[in-house]
DNA sequence: TTAATTTGCTTTGAATATTGAAGTATCACC
DNA sequence: GGTGATACTTCAATATTCAAAGCAAATTAA
């Protein structure tokens, strides 16, 4: 502690917030351009990434309840973007799969933000790329993502320091 | 282009998404712990950061319409967490101000995620801190946040691992 | 000054999102 | 079998969100 540059933590937090804000704001425009709501697009994206996830998987990944996933999938099914498929192994489970139309929506989502990022990343020097990856992974680790995933409860009553001490 | 490590862009995107997911999921738990909804907490946070912002400022900052801000502020006013104050300079404007209760809610919001981040950041060596700040600011710049703010049409996007095209 | 326009905010109406609680069906285990 | 846990859905209630319309205040034009 007692670093030479105590304001660096603020600078990093500000940069982080800018990143978060940019991505959040863009997600809405992207969804609108794709013709679905943001939450629905998130479902499509996860279904596209993972292999025919179950409703449970979707709920966990998105951090919402199963009831919410049911409602979202209902909408997507009604629009013909995904289909429900009862699992053969465990017939309680429902696998969500993309239809051809659903794949089209995903493909045509003009992910300008990511494209811009990837282009800018490609223009960096090799060592700069390595540094960026290292830093981002370090931040992710500092946020302790895994333990948060495992224990979403710890939000409450945790040691809190008031404003000035973060 | 044609870097030695073409998969680094994927690594950086994955790390970015982990950061985004962790913060997004945590925001909900934080709001619940504070006894408000996520959107309402965002309003409280912005009101706490900026000095008595107008409804317009809130709408711009949050990326929602003014009508939405009106609805959110209505809820917070009903709960006694903020008050509306007609601006003296321009009586069309309404400044949103925190009440004592609103300040308490903000104070007691157990922002464990940020606390954890700040502690981990403080433990880094000086040069590591500098590198982290540099990297985060570079990412923010690569996302072209400023122009995105100005042109919400091509704004944001959730970072999604699309197959080949980016 | 008066009129027209713009700006900031609210209201209204309608769609979506979200969840807890309750209900149904299936699985795992003994 | 029977018991309990798991996966999902349904239902009821609240939240969020926005477009459109409306209102009041400020700004510009005439």
Per-residue pLDDT tens over the stretch B31-76: 988 889 999 999 999 999 888 999 999 999 999 999 999 999 999 9
pTM for this structure?
0.80
Q: What is the pLDDT of residue B166?
A: 39
Cβ–Cβ < 8 Å for B157, A114: yes
Residues in CB range of A138: below 8 A, 6 or more apart? B132
Q: What is the pLDDT of residue B145?
A: 52
Q: Tell me which of A109-123, B4-18, B140-154 is least confident.
A: B140-154
> Residue B1 carries which DSSP code?
-
Residue of A48, A111, A135 with shortest CB distance to B135 = A135
- What are the chain A neighbours of B118 within 8 Å (beta carbons)? 9, 13, 166
Q: Tell me which of A52-56, B96-100, B124-128, B150-154 is least confident.
A: B150-154
Distance of alpha carbon A135 from alpha carbon B12, whole angstroms: 9
The token pair that represents B47 in the structure block: 């009101």
Domain boundaries, chain B: 12-110, 111-150
Q: What is the pLDDT of residue A145?
A: 53
Distance of alpha carbon A116 from alpha carbon B26, whole angstroms: 27
Q: What is the pLDDT of residue A143?
A: 86
Cβ–Cβ < 8 Å for B113, A143: yes
Residue ranges of chain A whose pLDDT lies below 50: 3, 147-166
* CA B95 to C1' C1, whole Å: 32
In terms of Cβ atoms closer than 10 Å to its own Cβ (0-12, 13-18, 19+), residue A58 is buried
Q: Is the pLDDT of residue B151 over 50?
A: no
Q: What is the pLDDT of residue B91?
A: 94
Which of A51, A60, A114 has the highest number of chain B CBs within 10 A, making it the mutation to test binding with B? A114
Q: Give, in degrees to the nearest 5, the angle at Cα A65 between A52 and A42.
A: 50
Nearest chain B residue to A116 by CA: give it.
Answer: B143
Instruction: Give the other-Cβ count within 10 Å of A39's Cβ.
Output: 17
Contact with chain A for residue B125, Cβ under 8 A: no
Q: What is the pLDDT of residue A7?
A: 87
Residue of B116, B134, B140 with shortest CB distance to A19 = B140
In terms of CATH architecture, what is B12-110? Orthogonal Bundle (1.10)
pLDDT band at B163 (very low <50, low <70, confident <90, very high): very low
Contacts 24+ apart (CB under 8 A), B120-129: B120/A142, B121/A8, B121/A9, B121/A12, B121/A142, B122/A1, B122/A3, B122/A9, B126/A3, B126/A4, B126/A5, B129/A3, B129/A5, B129/A8, B129/A9, B129/A12
Q: Is the pLDDT of residue B139 over 80?
A: yes
| Three-state secondary-structure class, residue B94 | strand
């Amino acid at each position: 502690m007692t670093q030479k540059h105590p304001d660096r933590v603020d600078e990093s937090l500000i940069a982080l917030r800018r990143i978060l804000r940019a991505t959040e704001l863009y997600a809405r425009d992207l969804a609108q351009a794709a013709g679905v709501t943001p939450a629905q697009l998130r479902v499509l994206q996860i279904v596209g990434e993972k292999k025919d996830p179950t409703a449970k998987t979707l709920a966990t990944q998105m951090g919402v309840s199963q009831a919410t996933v049911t409602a979202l999938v209902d909408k997507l099914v009604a629009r013909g973007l995904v289909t429900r498929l009862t699992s053969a192994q465990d017939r309680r489970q429902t696998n969500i799969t993309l239809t051809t139309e659903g794949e089209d929506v995903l493909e045509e989502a003009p992910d300008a933000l990511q494209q811009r990022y990837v282009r800018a990343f490609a223009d960096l020097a090799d060592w700069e790329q390595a540094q960026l990856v290292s830093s981002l992974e370090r931040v992710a680790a500092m946020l302790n993502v895994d333990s948060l995933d495992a224990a979403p409860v710890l939000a409450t009553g945790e040691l809190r320091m008031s404003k000035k001490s973060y």
